[in-house]
């Protein structure tokens, strides 16, 4: 009986309490949405200028897609993914990143034999992390993936594209690229062995997470944010000492290409990726700005992942490289004043007719239809809208309309404010005219209905 009472109380609380957003997931309104669109438009323009084409993959994938690509022992799979069992008893995962889904789509759509393939994408990703500034549980990314070409010239193109995109945004803060190479498989095996030996000798000083990684993937210890792990990793073997001659030549080609394109970078031999199919080039772009904070300074990261399609069960081991950028972090760095917004819609204001009902502000049906007709004429050249009564709870079609002063205050509070407004009342309707009011100078001009179009931009 008590359980039934608890359920009833819970239902009652649901019916009385307003809904609230899920923690770590936010709404985007007004300038924030225009900022998001602007960043995406610049990213898409950069990607298309390098011959990349759009792709859309589902938000929901079978969990195996991410477990096979990210690794079952990774923090993302082990701690952060949104995973559930559906009604068909299949494990499903909300997309935590974009690369695995694009690689899966490549295999599913039988594109492995049609190389090369270059894609760009954007959309929401989901990770159950502790929400903080620049880090949400539902966050937006833009990414690119290039499959089928192993030549290091593609690496230069990808880094160049990312740099072009970020610099086109005019964000606050200084951008910097950290660059490293993981070498080929031979180099990785040699380095992994050296790391394993080093960290095994120092395991008494490692964190619990790093002890777990010691035998599964010691390279991930280099990525640890634990202070004790950082202290131990400081004296770990250097990757550059284990590179094969072919890997060194490849990396030299990439560095020379970036120098020729005047793209600045800093070598960072501690920049790694833990998964086995990551090889050769890895890089991250950070922004030094108080708007982000030091722990969230990375705005874009990329790397070469030769062999990912094999990990997902593809028929061929295809070379691949790509990068992804966090839209929320870039939006924090982009001032509102530098965010382009669409041209304001022209408001059509209706002056209430007090003669219909003394003491009230009523807009008659004929006047409403006339205002709609005026807006329709304007809309042939630019956007326009009729300003309606804010609340209409009566049973009749006649609405209690706000006075003209309140309508003006409302439309002028928008960002950006419209350059002018059009005003109609009973007199204007009777004479087939409108009043055009300049919002900056407050000067008014009477315009005939048939001349509205010619006055719009004068």
Residue 273 annotated as part of some ligand binding site: yes
Residue at a domain's end among 337, 371, 401: 337
Residues 103 and 173 in one domain: yes
The pLDDT mean for the chain works out to 88
Question: Can you give the pLDDT at residue 192?
Answer: 87
Residues 324 and 364 in one domain: no
- Residue 194 counted as domain residue: no
- Residue 377 counted as domain residue: yes
Residue at a domain's end among 319, 337, 355: 337
Label residue 418 by pLDDT band (50, 70, 90): very high
Residues 392 and 446 in one domain: yes
- Residue 48 counted as domain residue: yes
What φ, ψ does residue 351 adopt, rounded to 5°? -85, 120
Residues 89 and 119 in one domain: yes
- Residue 12 counted as domain residue: no
Of 421, 427, 418, 410, nearest in space to 370 by CA: 427
Residues 411 and 436 in one domain: yes
Residue 37 annotated as part of some ligand binding site: no
- Residue 192 counted as domain residue: no
Hey, is 434 helix, strand or coil? strand
- Residue 368 counted as domain residue: yes
Q: Are 159 and 258 in contact (CB under 8 A)?
A: yes
Label residue 214 by pLDDT band (50, 70, 90): confident
CATH of the domain at 433: 3.40.50.800
Residues 316 and 362 in one domain: no
Label residue 96 by pLDDT band (50, 70, 90): very high
Residues 290 and 436 in one domain: no
HSE-up (13 A, CA, CB side) for residue 69: 24
Residue 99 annotated as part of some ligand binding site: yes
Which residues are 141's β-sheet partners? 123, 326
Residue 278 annotated as part of some ligand binding site: yes
CA 375 vs. chain centroid, Å, equals 35
Residues 152 and 121 in one domain: yes
Q: How many domains does the chain have?
A: 2
Helix 63-70 crosses helix 99-108 at what angle (to 10 degrees)?
Answer: 110
- Residue 208 counted as domain residue: no
Mean pLDDT (whole number) for 411-423:
90
- Tens digits of per-residue pLDDT, 349-379? 999 876 655 556 778 889 999 999 999 999 9
Structural element, H or E, at residue 147: strand 138-147
Mean pLDDT (whole number) for 109-134:
92
Which residues are 423's β-sheet partners? 349, 435
- Residue 215 counted as domain residue: no
pTM listed for this prediction: 0.86
Residues 156 and 48 in one domain: yes
Question: Can you give the pLDDT at residue 355?
Answer: 61
- Tens digits of per-residue pLDDT, 28-82? 988 899 999 999 999 999 999 999 999 999 999 999 998 887 765 565 665 688 9
Residue at a domain's end among 287, 320, 337: 337
What is the C-alpha to C-alpha distance for residues 347 and 392, in angstroms, rounded to an integer? 19
What is the C-alpha to C-alpha distance for residues 113 and 277, in angstroms, rounded to an integer? 20
Residue 190 annotated as part of some ligand binding site: no
Residue 227 annotated as part of some ligand binding site: no
Report which of residues 154 and 203 the model is more confident about.
Answer: 154
Residues 276 and 157 in one domain: yes
Residues 278 and 157 in one domain: yes
- The proportion of the chain whose per-residue pLDDT surpasses 70, expressed as a percent, equals 90
CATH of the domain at 301: 3.30.930.10
What is the C-alpha to C-alpha distance for residues 211 and 205, in angstroms, rounded to an integer? 9
Residue 208 annotated as part of some ligand binding site: no
What φ, ψ does residue 404 adopt, rounded to 5°? -60, -40
Q: Which domain holds residue 389?
A: 346-455
Residues 311 and 350 in one domain: no
Mean pLDDT (whole number) for 275-289:
88
């Amino acid at each position: 009986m008590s359980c039934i009472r608890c359920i009833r109380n819970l239902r009652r609380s649901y019916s009385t309490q307003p809904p609230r957003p899920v923690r770590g997931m936010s709404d985007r309104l007004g300038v924030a949405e225009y900022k998001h669109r602007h960043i995406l438009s610049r990213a898409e323009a950069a990607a298309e200028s390098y011959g990349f084409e759009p792709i859309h993959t589902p938000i929901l994938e079978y969990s195996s897609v991410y477990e096979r690509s990210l690794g079952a022992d990774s923090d993302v799979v082990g701690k952060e993914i949104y995973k559930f069992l559906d009604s068909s008893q299949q494990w499903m995962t909300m997309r935590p990143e974009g690369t695995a889904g694009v690689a899966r789509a490549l295999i599913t759509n039988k594109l492995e034999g049609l190389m090369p393939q270059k894609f760009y994408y954007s959309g929401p990703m989901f990770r159950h992390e502790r929400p903080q500034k620049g880090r949400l549980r539902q966050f937006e990314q833009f990414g690119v993936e290039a499959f089928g070409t192993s030549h290091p010239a593609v690496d230069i193109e990808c880094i160049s594209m990312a740099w072009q995109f970020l610099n086109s945004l005019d964000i606050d803060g200084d951008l910097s690229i950290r660059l490293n190479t993981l070498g080929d498989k031979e180099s990785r095996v040699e380095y992994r062995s050296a790391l394993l030996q080093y960290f095994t000798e120092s395991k008494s000083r490692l964190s619990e997470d790093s002890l777990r990684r010691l035998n599964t993937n010691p390279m991930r210890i280099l990525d640890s944010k634990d202070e004790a792990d950082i202290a131990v990793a400081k004296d770990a073997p250097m990757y550059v000492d284990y590179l094969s001659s072919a890997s060194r030549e490849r990396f030299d080609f990439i560095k020379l290409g970036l120098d020729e394109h005047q793209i600045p970078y800093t070598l960072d031999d501690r920049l790694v990726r833990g998964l086995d199919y990551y090889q050769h080039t890895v890089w991250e772009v950070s922004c030094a700005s108080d708007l982000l904070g030091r722990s969230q300074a990375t705005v874009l990261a990329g790397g070469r992942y030769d062999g990912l399609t094999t990990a997902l069960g593809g028929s061929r081991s295809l070379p691949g490289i790509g990068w992804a950028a966090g839209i929320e972090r870039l939006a924090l760095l982009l001032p509102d004043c530098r965010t382009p917004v669409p041209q304001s819609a022209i408001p059509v204001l209706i002056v209430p007719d007090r003669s219909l009902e003394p003491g009230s502000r009523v807009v008659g049906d004929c006047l409403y239809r006339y205002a709609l007709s005026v807006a329709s004429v304007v809309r042939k050249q630019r956007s326009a809208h009729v300003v309606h009564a804010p609340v209409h709870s009566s049973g009749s079609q006649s609405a209690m309309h706000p006075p003209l002063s309140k309508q003006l205050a409302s439309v002028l509070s928008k960002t950006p404010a419209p350059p002018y407004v059009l005003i109609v009342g009973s007199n204007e309707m009777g004479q087939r005219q409108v009043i055009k009011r300049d919002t900056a100078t407050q000067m008014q001009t009477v315009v005939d209905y048939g001349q509205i179009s010619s006055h719009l931009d004068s």
